[in-house]
Amino acid sequence: MASLSFTEADRVPFFLLLTTHGARELGMSIRDYFADPEAVAEGQWRMRTRYGHDCLYAFTYAALETEAWGGKVEFYEDGPPNAASVLAEGSAQIDALRAPAIDDCPCLRRSLKAIRLMRERAGSEVPVIGVVLSPFSAPVIQLGFPAYLDLLHDDRERFWALMEKNEDFCVNWANAQLEAGATAICYFDPFSSTDMIPPELYKETGHRVARDSIARIKGPTATHFASGRALGIVDAVAETKTAIIGLSILDDLTEAKRLCAGKLSVLGNLDGITMRHWSKAETEARVKRAIHDGAKGGGFILSDNHGEIHWSVPEAVLENIAEAVRRWGRYPIAWDI
């Protein structure tokens, strides 16, 4: 909280945004792990005990929301589940989409139970982070990329009708998580990244959707672009009243702190791909550089750049990240590189 208030606390906070690693921690398959809210809560608690990071992460998998809408999910032994099919093909099916009620979705009820269990165990000691997929990014999974691009560019009336349905679901799902005990909501919005669409189009569409949705979420939010770059839209993101911006490894942290000063706290931006192969020395160097570039003056949480650390990242790397934060993350940051 001190960091988010743009002041320096005792040390730099860090989030290890771990999902499938909990299954490994408990010796379970990924499918069985995500089907068991008690296991998810226990896995999160054990991983925080092991690495000492500063949150419990209630996110399971992005296709959970598609599953809630009636879609199918494909599970893998060594990575996150994915949506197995689109929800709608063609205009008539898009028009027929109806947002599900939260209580009618077993997959969402499991996630809410996991949040309640995390909150009961953690008390006020640590934040529990809930997650929603933004209404603007959800159609990538609902329709597929080509169909969504056609809708966005060629049929704005139907596009806005879908946004209205998605906004209602997003807000209800976010508020249900907050009511269950989540401290804040991560608003994943990768399609709004400047790697996906031009800033001008974002301001016409995704920005408006984010502004309206976040205003209705009854708790603090962090907007994350899931590896996509965001420095070109910092001012617009700040206008949505979100508290935190998640950055790509391709975003410069020094420039990010300058652009976000007093407006947005910065979350990021360790490379979750190359992280799989980091030695202890490289891990320390990467963490040290991120702290040097982002931590001074507060307003910074060290994390990966994607919002989910992949199954293939070894536990030794995670332990080395935690050790490097404890070594180099003490305020004041009085050293230089």
Using the structure block, give the residue that is written with the tokens 């879609």: 71
Residue 47 has pLDDT above 90, yes or no: yes
Check if the beta carbon of residue 232 is closer than 8 Å to that of residue 206.
Answer: no
To the nearest whole percent, how much of the chain has pLDDT over 70? 100
Query: Which are the contacts of 206, defined by CB distance < 8 A and separation ≥ 6?
Result: 134, 136, 137, 189, 191, 192, 197
**Mean confidence (pLDDT) of the chain:** 97
- Tens digits of per-residue pLDDT, 258-285? 999 999 999 999 999 999 999 999 999 9
pLDDT single digits (tens) 286-314: 999 999 999 999 999 999 999 999 999 99
- What does the alpha-carbon distance between residue 69 and residue 53 come to, in Å, rounded to a whole number? 33
Q: Which long-range contacts (CB under 8 A, 24 or more apart) does 72-77 make?
A: 75/30, 75/31, 76/30, 77/29, 77/30
The hierarchical CATH code for the domain 3-328 is 3.20.20.210
pLDDT recorded at residue 160: 98
The two tokens of residue 70 are 């009636």
pLDDT tens per residue across span 55-87:
999 999 999 999 999 999 999 999 999 999 999
pLDDT band of residue 142 (cuts 50, 70, 90) is very high
- Are the C-beta atoms of residues 269 and 287 closer than 8 Å to each other? no
Summarize pLDDT for 182-232 with one digit per residue, the tens: 999 999 999 999 999 999 999 999 999 999 999 999 999 999 999 999 999
The model's pTM: 0.97
Q: Of the candidates 292, 289, 284, 269, which has an alpha carbon nearest to the alpha carbon of residue 317? A: 284
Element (H, E) at 56: strand 56-57
Q: How does pLDDT run across 79-111, given as a tens digit for each residue? A: 999 999 999 998 999 999 999 999 999 999 999
Tell me the pLDDT tens digit for each residue of 9-25: 999 999 999 999 999 99
User: Which two tokens mark 188?
Assistant: 């994943």
> Residue 269: is the preceding peptide bond cis (ω within 30°)?
yes
Backbone angles phi, psi at 143, to 5 degrees: -115, -25
Q: Check pLDDT > 90 for residue 52.
A: yes
3-class DSSP state of 109: helix
Q: At residue 82, what are phi and psi to the nearest 5 degrees?
A: -130, 160
Q: Is the pLDDT of residue 337 over 90?
A: no
Check whether 247 has a pLDDT greater than 90: yes
